[in-house]
């Protein structure tokens, strides 16, 4: 079953009065359990595509279906609620809340979902254990390395029990060891929990592990390669 | 909600120095506001107490129409039921009968006009402690039939204790009221104007002089506290029939009430200016807290936090920031005010003379009146709310993607 389906998706920006096509007529279907990398050079439209699929940006034309629901026509507040229940995000720059501990950062998303304290406690601890940070629950982001912060971000993305995780250049700010570590964790979660991951990246380490690689150029799909 | 509060509180302490400066500015502004307000209310209440305590009473009950006519034709006989009704009314502590009129006070070639007040010696003393103001001679006893003159009036008449004066006036229904009285004592008030135009007679003597039998013009009413004036007035109006009028000191001495109101308005303006300055300080802090966290705002809304929830957290932040300053100010102010309430500041020199010339006690009094604290808390919360309007606006216009790009 397709968790994400785009149909003739386009996004046109105005740059000093000149229309720029950031995403150009992209039709794509991503199935449950995929480990997909959207690749392409800078400015190819990877992030814009991911933002639209994540409901953070509205398409100029075309449709986006997530979990069988059209999100392109949803209103702002509806989209916020939808994102909270269906989509996990891992951003390039960690983007943890600096005044909260690792555990509280993971709990935060469940708090927005109005989960009980007991459930929040249990799941946050389990997830941080799963990403190898069971002994860092009480640390604040500035007390963690970049790799550790990104692992907290992965745990947070999974906390809401999303249908899929969108990861925008998740390894861009990490050293090799941390990046490999993070990818190991994501790969394991993909295998064990059948969690769907969609990356926008130009990191060859991510591309090497992806089961499917969609290449964008000038906003359009240049190639779509599925690996066994 | 607990995590939201915790989040807000921790956000405040991201920049300790900035938050402490903001809190300090609120602390000093609230301290200044509370202290100055406490002093003004305390001093005015004391002034009012002095005036109503030494003379008018907080409330007077008359026969309907007496306040306008001041005529002895509008007298009434205070039945024991009436007195019981008045003294049984909530906040009323005492009701003192008086017969008030005017007369010429004459001695030889000297004649002065004076207000003549017939008093129940014991009750009047209970209310005004007038016996303590007797400068020469003695206060009335049960058997007294003489007169107590204001000291300045006696000076004008060149009379003293033991001398005789003649009163000549108009009595009930226009009869002539005339009598000869021995001066039993002289009374001195802080204001010379009062001492120059006032004389007291025992109530039965005054009633006989004016031919009113058991009639009186006034029941002067004392209350448990000046702040209960309107409550007591309303209660008395309910209790008493339309035959009577209930007049408060504000109606009797409107100049004092106006002076008090004018001073309050003046102080309100000064405090408003202080709060505006503090408000801009808070706004600056909130503005910086907002701008440096736009990326974070973008991230949390991207994750699924509603903008309304985010706005509430920002409001909690500015409220906690301002309330912390306000609460600290209250904690510091309460013991100081408690001490000053017990031991008011005694004025000396010219300032003391100025107060005394108006008949006021030369002290700066303070009060721990709870609404002062309530209103200062209200004002700082209002500042918090106004200061949050900018972040509210930014949050309402927030675009998660663009916000997350800031600071990269």
CA distances to A56, A64, A225, B294 from A52, in Å = 6, 8, 22, 21
pLDDT surpassing 70 at residue B373:
yes
Nearest residue, CB atoms, B401 vs list A57, A112, A160: A57
B364: buried, middle or exposed (CB in 10 Å: 19+, 13-18, 0-12)? middle
pLDDT of residue B7: 83
CB contact under 8 A, A95 and B296: yes
* pLDDT for B407 beyond 60: no
| pLDDT-derived band at B290, boundaries 50, 70, 90 | confident
Residues of chain B positioned with their CB less than 8 A from the CB of A112: 303-305, 309
Mean pLDDT across B191-206: 88
Give the whole-angstrom CA distance, residue B67 versus residue B252: 9
Is B136 at the interface with chain A, CB within 8 A? no
By percentage, how much of chain B surpasses pLDDT 70?
A: 98
Place of tokens 């706005």: B311
Percent of chain A with pLDDT over 90: 48
pLDDT category at B359 given cuts 50, 70, 90 is low
Least confident range from A71-75, B113-117, B120-124, B228-232: namely A71-75
Token pair in block for residue A90: 């891992």
More confident residue, A204 or B355: A204
Q: CB–CB of B304 and A160 under 8 A?
A: yes
| CA-to-CA separations, A186 to A206, A208, B189, B373, in angstroms, rounded | 10, 13, 92, 56
Q: Quick one: B1 exposed, middle or buried, by C-beta within 10 A (0-12, 13-18, 19+)?
A: exposed
Residues 6+ apart with CB under 8 A from A228: none
A contact set with B (CB within 8 A)? 51, 54, 56-57, 77, 80-81, 83-85, 89, 91, 93, 95, 97-100, 104, 107-109, 111-113, 156, 160
Domains of chain A: residue spans and CATH? 2-226 (3.40.50.300)
Q: Residues B146, B204: contact at Cβ < 8 Å?
A: no
Assign 3-class secondary structure to chain B. CHHHHHHHHHHHHHHHHHHHHHHHHHHHHHHHHHHHHHHHHHHHHHHHHHHHHHHHCCEEEEECCHHHHCCCCCCECCCHHHHHHHHCCCCEEEEEEEEEEEEEEEECCEEEEEEEEEECHHHHHHHHCHHHHEEEECCCCCCCCCEEEEHHHHHHHCCCCCCEEEEEEECHHHCEEEEEEEEEEEECCCCHHHHCCEEEEEHHHHHHHHCCCCCECEEEEEECCHHHHHHHHHHHHHHCCCCEEEEEHHHHCHHHHHHHHHHHHHHHHHHHHHHHHHHHHHHHHHHHHHHCCHHHHHHHHHHCCCHHHHHHHHHHHHHHHHHHHHHHHHHHHHHHHHHHHHCCEECCHHHHHHHHHCCCCCEECCCCCHHHHHHHHHHHHHHHHHHCHHHHHHHHCCCHHHHHHCCC
At residue A152 the predicted structure's pLDDT band, cuts being 50, 70 and 90, is very high
Tokens found for residue B341: 């309430």
Average pLDDT, chain A: 90
Which pLDDT band, with edges at 50, 70 and 90, does A216 fall under? very high
**Residue A40, Ramachandran bin (φ over 0: left; ψ between -120 and 50: alpha; else beta):** left
Q: Taking CB atoms and an 8 Å cutoff, what residues of chain A touch B11? A: 99
Contact B306 A77 (CB under 8 A): yes
Percent above pLDDT 90 for chain B = 40
Residues of chain A with C-beta less than 8 angstroms from the C-beta of B307: 80
Q: Which residues of chain B does A109 touch, with a Cβ-Cβ cutoff of 8 Å? A: 303-304
Flag whether pLDDT at B353 surpasses 90.
no
Residue A211: DSSP 8-state: S
CB contact under 8 A, B303 and A89: yes
Predicted local distance difference test score (pLDDT) of residue B113: 93
Q: B242-274, pLDDT tens digit by residue?
A: 899 999 999 988 888 888 889 889 888 988 888
pLDDT over 80 at B408, yes or no = no
Q: Can you give the pLDDT at residue B10?
A: 87
Q: Encoding tokens for residue B224?
A: 């448990």
Q: What's the average model confidence in pLDDT over B188-217?
A: 89
In terms of Cβ atoms closer than 10 Å to its own Cβ (0-12, 13-18, 19+), residue A14 is exposed
Most confident of A70-74, B3-7, B245-249, B322-326: B245-249
Tell me what percent of the residues of chain A surpass a pLDDT of 70: 99
Interface test with A, best of B304, B397, B400, B403 (most A CBs within 10 A): B304
Greater model confidence, A140 or A179 = A140
CA A91 – CA A185 distance, rounded (Å):
16
Q: In the predicted model, is pLDDT for residue B361 greater than 80?
A: no
Chain A CB within 8 Å of residue B15 CB: no
Each residue of A121-136: pLDDT tens digit? 999 998 898 888 889 9
B positions 276-295 inside 8 Å of A (CB): 295
d(CA B254, CA B9): 50
| Structure confidence at residue B340 as a pLDDT band (50, 70, 90) | very high
Determine the distance from the C-alpha atom of residue B147 to the mean position of all C-alpha atoms in its chain, rounded to a whole number: 34
pLDDT tens for each residue of B25-68: 888 888 988 998 899 888 888 888 777 777 789 999 999 999 99
């Amino acid at each position: 079953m397709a968790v994400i389906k785009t149909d003739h998706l386009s996004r046109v920006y105005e740059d000093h009065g000149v229309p720029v096509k950031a995403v150009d007529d992209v039709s794509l279907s991503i199935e449950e359990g995929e480990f997909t990398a959207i690749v392409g050079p800078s400015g190819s439209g990877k992030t814009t595509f991911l933002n639209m699929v994540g409901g953070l940006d509205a398409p100029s034309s075309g449709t986006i279906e997530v979990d069988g629901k059209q999100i392109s026509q949803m209103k702002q507040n509806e989209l916020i609620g939808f994102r909270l229940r269906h989509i996990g995000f891992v951003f390039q720059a960690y983007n943890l809340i600096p005044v909260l501990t690792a555990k509280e950062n993971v709990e935060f998303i469940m708090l927005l979902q109005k989960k009980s304290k007991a459930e929040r406690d249990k799941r946050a601890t389990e997830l941080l254990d799963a990403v190898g940070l069971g002994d860092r629950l009480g640390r604040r982001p500035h007390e963690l390395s970049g790799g550790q912060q990104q692992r907290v971000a992965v745990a947070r993305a999974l906390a809401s029990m999303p249908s899929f995780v969108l990861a925008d250049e998740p390894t861009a700010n990490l050293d090799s060891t941390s990046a490999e570590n993070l990818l190991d964790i994501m790969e394991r979660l993909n295998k064990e929990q059948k969690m769907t991951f969609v990356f926008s990246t130009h990191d060859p380490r991510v591309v090497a592990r992806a089961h499917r690689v969609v290449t964008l150029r000038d906003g359009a799909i240049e190639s779509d390669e599925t690996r066994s | 909600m607990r995590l939201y509060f915790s989040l807000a509180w921790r956000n405040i302490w991201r920049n300790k120095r900035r938050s402490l400066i903001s809190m300090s500015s609120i602390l000093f502004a609230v301290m200044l506001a509370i202290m100055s307000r406490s002093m003004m209310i305390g001093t005015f209440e004391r002034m009012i107490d002095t005036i109503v305590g030494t003379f008018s009473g907080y409330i007077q009950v008359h026969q309907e129409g007496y306040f306008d006519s001041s005529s002895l034709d509008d007298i009434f006989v205070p039945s024991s039921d009436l007195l019981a009704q008045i003294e049984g009314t909530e906040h009323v502590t005492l009701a003192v009968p008086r017969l008030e009129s005017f007369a010429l006070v004459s001695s030889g070639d000297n004649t002065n006009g004076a207000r003549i007040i017939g008093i129940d010696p014991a009750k009047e003393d209970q209310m005004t402690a007038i016996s303590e103001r007797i400068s020469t001679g003695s206060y009335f006893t049960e058997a007294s039939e003489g007169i107590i003159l204001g000291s300045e009036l006696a000076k004008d008449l060149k009379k003293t204790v033991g001398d005789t004066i003649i009163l000549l006036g108009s009595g009930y229904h226009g009869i002539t009221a005339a009598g000869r009285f021995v001066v039993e004592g002289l009374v001195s008030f802080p204001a010379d104007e009062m001492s120059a135009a006032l004389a007291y007679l025992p109530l039965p003597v005054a009633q006989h002089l004016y031919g009113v039998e058991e009639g009186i013009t006034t029941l002067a009413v004392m209350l448990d506290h000046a702040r209960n004036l309107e409550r007591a007035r309303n209660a008395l109006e309910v209790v008493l029939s339309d035959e009577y009028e209930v007049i408060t000191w504000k109606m009797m001495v409107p100049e004092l009430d106006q002076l008090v109101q004018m001073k309050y308005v003046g102080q309100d303006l000064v405090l408003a200016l202080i709060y505006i300055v503090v408000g801009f300080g808070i706004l600056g802090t909130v503005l910086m807290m907002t701008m440096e966290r736009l990326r974070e705002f973008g991230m949390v809304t991207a994750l699924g936090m509603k903008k309304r929830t985010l706005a509430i957290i920002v409001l909690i932040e500015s409220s906690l920031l301002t309330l912390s300053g306000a609460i600290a100010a209250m904690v510091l102010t309460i013991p100081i005010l408690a001490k000053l309430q017990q031991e008011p500041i005694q004025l000396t020199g010219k300032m003391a003379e100025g107060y005394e010339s108006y008949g006021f006690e030369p002290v700066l009094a303070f009060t721990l009146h709870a609404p002062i604290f309530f209103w200062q808390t209200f004002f700082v919360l209002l500042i918090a709310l106004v200061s949050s309007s900018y972040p509210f606006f930014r949050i309402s216009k927030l675009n998660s993607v663009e916000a997350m790009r800031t600071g990269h």
